[in-house]
Amino acid sequence: MKKILIIALILLTSIVNAQRFITVFMQDYELENSSLYWDTKYGLKNFITSDWKELKPQHYYNIKENVFLNIKLYNYDKWMHVTEFIDKIVVRDDSTLYILVGHNQLFGESEAPVESHTYCSDNILFGCRTNDVTWWCIDNTIVNTFDLIAPERYIVWPAIVGWVRGYDEKTIRNRVSQKYSKYQKIAEREAELIFGGSMYCN
C-alpha cells in the first residue's frame, strides 16, 4: 500500500513540476562496508533529510521538489566511476546533475590526449585538485576543486540542496565552502579559494 501511495504521489507531482535527477558517483574503499555512504558520523546517508523518501537502498525521492537521487557506490578504483561519470555528462540533459566524489586526485595520471567536452550536463567534482587534471576538459562544472581536500559528505549535501533549490553557481560554491570551513576549522576565505567552477579548455 505504501509503495502504491508513493508511486501515486510521484505521478501527481510530475504534473506540476518537471522531474529532475541527481546521480552521485562515489568512490569508496569497500563497497560492502561503504564508509563514505554509511559512516555513522560523516557518511552521506546521515545528511539526507526527512523530505527525501528512500525508495530502495541508495535511491531517494523528494516529493515536494520532484527530484530523484541515486547514489552509485564503487570499489576503490580510479577509473570505473570516472568513466561512467564522463559517459553520462557528455550527453547534455538540463534536468540532471552528476556528482563525482573520490579521494587521491581521483582521476590519476594518463598519457591520453586531452579530451574537451564543451556541452555537458550540470556536474560537480569533489576530489583533490580536480582542476589540475591535464588529460581532460569539461564545462558546465558548478563546483570544481582547486586544492587538496577531504571530500567528506558534509560538502556534498549542501551542493545537492543548492542545485535542487535552483541557486546559482556562486551561491552553491559559497554553501560548500562555508560547510568546509566549519568542519575543517579553517577561515572562510581560505575555504573559498579551494572551490571554483569549470576548467578552462585550450
Torsion angle in degrees (nearest 10) through CA of 158, 164, 168, 172: 10
Return the pLDDT at 161. Answer: 95
167-177 pLDDT, tens digit each: 999 999 999 99
Domain ranges of the chain: 18-196
The residues, any chain, with a CB within 8 Å of residue 42's CB and separated by 6 or more, are 152, 153, 154
* Under 8 Å between Cβ of 29 and 73: no
Return the pLDDT at 1. Answer: 58
How far, in Å, CA of 194 to CA of 125, rounded? 12
Return the pLDDT at 28. Answer: 66
> What does the block give as the cell for 8?
501515486
Return the pLDDT at 61. Answer: 97
DSSP H helical ranges for the chain: 2-16, 35-38, 80-89, 153-164, 169-184, 188-192
Q: Which helix (H) or strand (E) holds 26?
A: strand 20-27
Torsion angle in degrees (nearest 10) through CA of 7, 9, 38, 83: 70
How far, in Å, CA of 151 to CA of 125, rounded? 10
Question: What number of other Cβ atoms are within 10 A of residue 92's Cβ?
Answer: 12
How far, in Å, CA of 142 to CA of 97, rounded? 10
Return the pLDDT at 138. Answer: 78
Return the pLDDT at 91. Answer: 85
List of the chain residues with pLDDT < 70: 1-17, 28-36, 38-41, 76-79, 103-115, 131-137, 150-152, 199-202
